[in-house]
């Protein structure tokens, strides 16, 4: 199996950014630490 490091890093980065954004939005909408 050919492991394309660049692709893995790219996807991890994207997942990280998207997850933090989604999580952040939900966090803010739901009133934070309420």
Partner 1 sequence: MVILLNKKQFLKELRAELKQLQKEDLDPIMEDFEEHFEIGLSKGRSEEELVESLGTPKTIAKHVKADFLVRQAEDKTSFINFSRAFFAILGLGFFNLVFGLGIFLGILALLFGLFVAAGAFVFAGIASIISPFIEPFVDNLSLGGMNPLAVFFFGIGLTAFGLLIFIADGYITKEFFHMALKYLKMNIKIVTGVN
User: Which residues lie near partner 1 (CB under 8 A)?
Assistant: 5, 8-9, 12-13, 15-20, 22-24, 26-27, 29-34
SS3 call for 7: helix
CA distance 15 to 25: 15
Q: Please, what is the minimum distance in Å from the beta carbon of residue 1 to partner 1? A: 17
Nearest partner of 18 among 28, 26, 8, judged by Cα: 26
Q: Which is nearer to partner 1, 2 or 32 (CB)?
A: 32
Q: Which is nearer to partner 1, 2 or 31 (CB)?
A: 31
């Amino acid at each position: 199996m050919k492991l394309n490091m660049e692709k893995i890093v790219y996807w991890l980065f994207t997942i990280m950014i998207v997850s933090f954004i989604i999580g952040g939005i939900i966090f803010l909408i739901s009133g934070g630490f309420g």
